Structure 1
Amino acid sequence: MALLNQVNLVGRAGRDPEIRYFETGTVLCTLTLAVDRLRRKGTDEQPDWFDLEIWGKTAEIAGEYVRKGSLLGITGALTFSRWTDKTTQERRERPVIKVDQLELLGSRERRSGDSESFS
């Protein structure tokens, strides 16, 4: 039996991307993604929020073209960021989607239906 860790999401960027360049030449882009749930009649459900990590050339593209509110499609793997809290010394963790493929589906300002895919 093959095991699979694949996440596919479509949502809007919750903030402008943050880009970090490392001495090794590696590039990291982090941002949040808000994904709406199917709305049931009479409910006012809030979106689900996901932290994204994008590496390499795709990170550079995200930094250049993605802005808060941009509509994105992503494919990636669910990982966990783990650390020890400096104040309480407790182990902490948070889920992070490590993005393998990024699709620019448009933004609130531009609804031309064009999309571009990067991986």
Structure 2
Amino acid sequence: MLNRVILIGRLTKDPELRYTPNGVAVARFTLAVDRRQAKDREKEADFIDIVVWQKQAENCANYIGKGRLVAVDGRLQIRSYDDSQGIRRKAAEVIAENVRFLDRAKEGGSSYNASHPNHADEGMGSEISFNEDDIPF
């Protein structure tokens, strides 16, 4: 059996980073992926929910944002839940195993803020600013 999804698209908004009660990072974002269309039709896109776990979730939250181009490699997961009115619903999402950042921030854009791994001894949560040339990947 095979469950593999590979997508390339742009983030519709900044990733939302949270932590489980056990302290595991999880980030969620939506990817807009263009559909192939006949030449005489307007562009259409699918909006696909992506879930990223652990260190990669933190990297996504720190280094990418709305409009950035990424490639996601993962698996499709369908889950069921009861909404606020007790109606059974299904949600499809891609559980990302690998997220590749495919573009750079625009020139003159805002700098990224993230805890820099080389400054861990400066105190938890200390933030520094740096530009896209400093990003290690």
**TM bracket, shorter-chain basis:** 0.7 to 0.9
Task: Give per-residue Cα distances to partners, 1:54-101, cap 9 Å, x unaligned.
Answer: 0001000000011000000010000013111221x2210110000000
Q: Is the 8 A contact 1:13 1:31 kept in 2?
A: yes
Counterparts of 1:79 and 1:27 in 2: how far apart (Å)?
Answer: 19
Amino acid of the structure 2 residue aligned with 1:10: I
Gaps (5+ residues) in structure 2?
108-136
TM-score, with normalisation over the residues of structure 1?
A: 0.84
Change (3 A) 1:107 1:14: farther
Q: Secondary structure at the match of 2:35?
A: coil
Instruction: Count matched residues.
Output: 108
Higher relative contact order (CA 8 A, sep 6+): 1
Alignment of 1:97 with 2:94, yes or no, is yes
More helix by share: 2
Q: Is the 8 A contact 1:71 1:108 kept in 2?
A: no
TM-score, with normalisation over the residues of structure 2?
A: 0.74
Runs of at least 4 residues off by over 6 Å = none
- Based on CA coordinates, which of the two structures has the bigger radius of gyration? 2
Gaps (5+ residues) in structure 1?
111-115
Specify the alignment match of 1:106 in structure 2: 103
- Residue 25 of structure 1 and its aligned partner are, at CA, apart by 1.6
